[in-house]
Amino acid sequence: MPYFETSTDGTRLHYVDYGPRDGRTVVFVNSSYFGTEMWEFQMLALAGEGYRCVGFDRRGHGRSDDVWGGFDLDTLAGDVAALVDHLDLNDITLVGHSIGTAEAVRYLTLHGSGRVARVALVALVAGMAPGPARSADHPEGVDPALIEAGNEAFRKDRPGFFAAGADDFFALHRPGNEVSPAAVQYWVERCAGATARAGNALGELVVTLNVAPELAKIDVPVLVVHGTHDASAPIALTGERAARLIPGSTLRVYENAGHGLFVTHADQLTADLREFMNR
């Protein structure tokens, strides 16, 4: 299996590299808890069409090293940079989901857009980019204590937390969001691919994280994708707000979609990414 080492602390991270090496390159940055398997519907389709699709398991996730440190946003964004540098990737489309959107934004802040042609921010999540958590520049946001209460529930019963959240994650109560019971169980089990340390550390990061001031400085084309029924990140506080803050961004709203739109709206997301890259 291919691995690379991070530039900050030598943590060994697993990555995948699908499709032709001379194809237009897409770098996928995962949500919390998931490894690169979360992008199977997008990666396999696009790689089959000649795109180069690259992704990696975040530290403490999937097949990457289980470590204690490095869960601050600067280090996580540095891990993205280490992968891009390791493979010497250029002219890339950087695609992030959930917490991966914050890592993508911070990557641009710290490392610039020299290797990045465009960015897609999918299902921006609580406290991320820019997130619903209340802050000095976002007074209408959610009380951080409520987010911390969710973190406490996670600490007490991780399996129960994942199982109880599955319906809302995929918005299964909304028309058209058909996910088989077996598939729901599969994705719940995939969440266990993140260690307890990694899951707790990212939950703690959410409480105070705010990259909203960085959004206005993005100097490449941006696609924002969000679902109307995202329980993890209400669209008005995240996707719509981010689209307003990012100069010239394009917002795609998926009717009835929840946070897990990469599954329920897989074909639509793949098509929008393809159109965005070819624009």
DSSP annotation of 39 reads G
Strand, coil or helix: 195: coil
User: Which helix (DSSP H) or strand (DSSP E) does residue 223 occupy?
Assistant: strand 222-227
Q: Is the Cβ–Cβ distance between 233 and 264 less than 8 Å?
A: no
Please indicate whether residue 7 is annotated as part of the active site.
Answer: no
Q: What pLDDT, in 10s, does the model give residues 199-209?
A: 999 988 887 78
Q: Is the Cβ–Cβ distance between 64 and 6 less than 8 Å?
A: no
Residue in 57, 65, 230, 272 annotated catalytic: 230
Angle CA(81)–CA(205)–CA(36) in degrees, nearest 5?
Answer: 50
Please indicate whether residue 86 is annotated as part of the active site.
Answer: no
Q: What pLDDT, in 10s, does the model give residues 64-90?
A: 999 999 999 999 999 999 999 999 999
- pTM higher than 0.95: no
**What are the structural domain ranges in the chain?**
3-278
Please indicate whether residue 230 is annotated as part of the active site.
Answer: yes
Which one, of 232, 217, 88, lies nearest residue 147 by Cα?
232
DSSP annotation of 42 reads H
110 class by beta-carbon count within 10 Å (0-12 exposed, 13-18 middle, 19+ buried): middle
Give the CATH superfamily of 3-278: Alpha/Beta hydrolase fold, catalytic domain (3.40.50.1820)
At 249, the pLDDT band (50, 70, 90 cuts) reads very high
